[in-house]
Amino acid sequence: MSVERYDVVDLIRTKRDGGQLGSPEIAWLVDAYTRGYVGDEQMAALAMAIFLNGMDRREIHDLTQAMIASGERMDFSALPVPTVDKHSTGGVGDKITLPLVPLVACFGVAVPQLSGRGLGHTGGTLDKLEAIPGWRAELSNPEMLRVLAEEGGVVCAAGAGLAPADKKLYALRDTTGTVESIPLIASSIMSKKIAEGTGALVLDVKFGSGAFLPEIERGRELARTMVALGRDAGVATSALLTNMHVPLGRAVGNAVEVAESVEVLAGGGPSDVRALTVALAREMLAAAGRDGEDVVAALDDGRAMDRWRRIVRAQGGDPDAPLPVAREHEVLTAERDGVLLAQPALPYGVAAWRLGAGRARKDDTVQAAAGLILHAKPGDAVRAGQPLVTLATDDADRIPRAVEALAGAWRIGNAGEPIDDGGPLIADRIA
């Protein structure tokens, strides 16, 4: 689409004034932005207008389709088994992809997990896995297909040709305060997932203090929007609305989350990480036509661990190599006897980020060993002086600002007082 058919300023004014953009206008706009005819400053103005005034379902559908059309589409039809993917909107301590992919792959289902890197307080799956010596995130399409065909699962970075319009717009949103727009979040996620070519998709949509959209109703709206986009595109799509009010598990960071994931694959690990892994595995297998499989048994009898080791090796990693250990540690302790009543997730994500586990800009490097270990969770009894959280980093100069982020990050009270944990781990299912 090379002819410049519209004046972008007119389109900005339309959204600024609460109007709707037509399908041809959206298709032209995304194409022109991808080609560089529409500048970042103009798209930033339009993104802010969308943030403030929203889009209707037809506009969101058109935006998603235009971003898909900006690049290539993958095709897994040559595989002899069904394909299913999972996407999480991100949260503090959310390492579920690591045990989930090998678990689902145990049951004759291929899992093409295209994942991302962390930005801000939410960690990235690829950053976590790169803590494993030798493991590679960047695979060519033929390499990805080979690992998927041989091992049943792959976790890797999306190629540059997949929805390049979204890649440009995502970076712009992060620097212009428009990340939390439901139309822009939904079209961003679903353009990549639909272009990926998977047959079914399960969404893990977070709400709570550590999520991009803290309010549960906003999370539910996002889930419904994305499920509709998937179904409109012919992809069997469902969503679980899950609680990110407190950190997930006890590890927040990179290598520490890998270690916790391996505990889950060994049949142990924190109860919330294990429960969400099992729930999402069941949802994914049902979407792929494999209802009724005993996923708990596959965790407990070693099948999921064996598959994990095979997938890690297939991507160049050594599953037996020691994980990186930080050079510097700081332990924060309980100030009194009592019960841990509150542990809001956001400060822990910010602290891990400040320790070096995350990045402020997309080209920042991360420390594999940086992160936090939580020694108590809401509802646990604690004693004065008992460790509550251990901070880990390779750079001691990072510790003071991380400690500062954790000021007021927990509340200790008396037995019988209400526990502020945000409610059930899984609040709703949307299909």
Q: What is the pLDDT of residue 345?
A: 97
Strand order from edge to edge, sheet including 200-207: 84-88, 200-207, 236-243, 426-430
Taking only the tens place, the pLDDT of each residue in 55-79 is 999 999 999 999 999 999 998 988 9
Same domain, 100 and 189: yes
Among 288, 320, 352, the domain-final residue is: 320
CATH number of residue 17's parent domain: 1.20.970.10
Among 320, 355, 389, the domain-final residue is: 320
- Could you say which residues of the chain have pLDDT below 50? 1
Same domain, 92 and 240: yes
Minimal CA–CA distance to 74: which of 198, 186, 202, 236? 198
Q: Which of 173, 206, 220, 250 is catalytic?
A: 173
Is 193 an annotated catalytic residue?
A: no
Residue 431 belongs to a domain: no
Taking only the tens place, the pLDDT of each residue in 369-385 is 999 999 999 999 999 99
Q: Which of 88, 188, 191, 238 is catalytic?
A: 188
What Rg, from alpha-carbon coordinates, does the chain have?
22
What is the rounded distance in angstroms from the CA atom of residue 374 to the CA atom of residue 406?
A: 12
Residue 261 belongs to a domain: yes
Query: How many of the other CB atoms lie within 10 Å of CB of 136?
Result: 16
Q: How many structural domains compose the chain?
A: 3
Q: What is the pLDDT of residue 362?
A: 64
Q: What is the pLDDT of residue 363?
A: 67
Q: What is the pLDDT of residue 212?
A: 86
Reduce the DSSP state of residue 286 to 3 states and report it.
Answer: helix
Same domain, 293 and 334: no
CATH number of residue 112's parent domain: 3.40.1030.10
Q: Which of 15, 61, 86, 87 is catalytic?
A: 87
205, exposed or middle or buried, with CB in 10 Å at 0-12, 13-18, 19+? Answer: buried
Query: How many of the other CB atoms lie within 10 Å of CB of 216?
Result: 19
What is the rounded distance in angstroms from the CA atom of residue 319 to the CA atom of residue 132?
A: 7
Q: Specify the pTM.
A: 0.93
Is 166 an annotated catalytic residue?
A: yes
Minimal CA–CA distance to 358: which of 128, 178, 185, 88? 128
Q: What is the pLDDT of residue 3?
A: 57
Is 61 an annotated catalytic residue?
A: no
Is 231 an annotated catalytic residue?
A: no
Please, what is the end-to-end C-alpha distance for the chain in angstroms? 35
Q: What is the pLDDT of residue 160?
A: 75
Q: Which domain holds residue 46?
A: 8-69
Among 320, 347, 375, the domain-final residue is: 320
Q: What is the pLDDT of residue 118?
A: 66
CATH number of residue 335's parent domain: 3.90.1170.30
Same domain, 210 and 277: yes
CB within 8 A of 398, min separation 6: which ones?
354, 355, 356, 370
Task: Identify the DSSP state of 158.
Answer: P
Is 209 an annotated catalytic residue?
A: no
